[in-house]
Amino acid sequence: MPYEKIAFLADQSESAQAAQKELAAHHNVVPVEQADVIVTLGGDGFMLRTLHRYMQLGKPFYGMNRGTVGFLLNNFEGDHLLERLASAEVAMLNPLRMRAMREAGTEQAALAINEVSLLRQTRQLAKIRIAIDGRVRLEELSCDGILVATPAGSTAYNLSAHGPILPLTANVLAMTPISAFRPRRWRGALLPRGVQVRFDVLDHYKRPVSAVADQTEVRDVVEVTISEASDITLRLLFDHEHNLEERILNEQFIP
């Protein structure tokens, strides 16, 4: 489809601001709500923040790298943007929905495009019980933490924690422990994308735990449930030679 009305969003870096000014001078720039496509200029962190802020609009996102890593982004070029948008490939992503119950009895919900992670708040190991679709699968995991990652997020924190890299079409989620102490040999699990995960924090007064959905942190949690937000679909546009599926595949062969 043609993407003629464009909203350009840039982070505060000098290179991103300069790129926005250059592109805005040659295209039909409109507010985000009126745009056919949202073009971000920055790094992966800025793209994630933009996705969280505007995902409810249902518009496609095309990112150009003016940051560092750029895993969710295309290379920056000032020319031929309309042609690149017209020929771009679409990656469809569903975020995770986290519901975290605090020790005080209040609940907070948040969405995660990359992962939901539970992390110990003090020097004490966390102790966490794991249930899948209401059935307890692991009575007690002693660890620094644990995370559930989407395929798109499997190359982020999940990879640093030695979790598996997941192709977008795998239809699974990665559950990966962070510095597991007991069971010592447990390395995590691959879960069907439609399951509901529940983490119960054991001995939470002595061993407090925080839950983090991308950039949203909830401290002193006692129970966290995670499921795929199938009602929300994100559309990310990629140049053919830099599509997300190919990048995920390439990551598995980097020495």
Residues assigned a catalytic role: 44
Distance between CA atoms of 246 and 128, rounded to whole angstroms? Answer: 35
Q: Edge to edge, what strands does the sheet with 61-65 contain? A: 28-29, 5-10, 37-42, 61-65, 234-238, 89-93
Strands (E), 215-255: 216-218, 221-228, 234-238
Please provide the size of the chain in residues: 255
Phi, psi of 38 (to 5 degrees): -105, 120
Distance between CA atoms of 82 and 171, rounded to whole angstroms? Answer: 32
Contact criterion met (CB below 8 Å) for 10 and 19 = yes
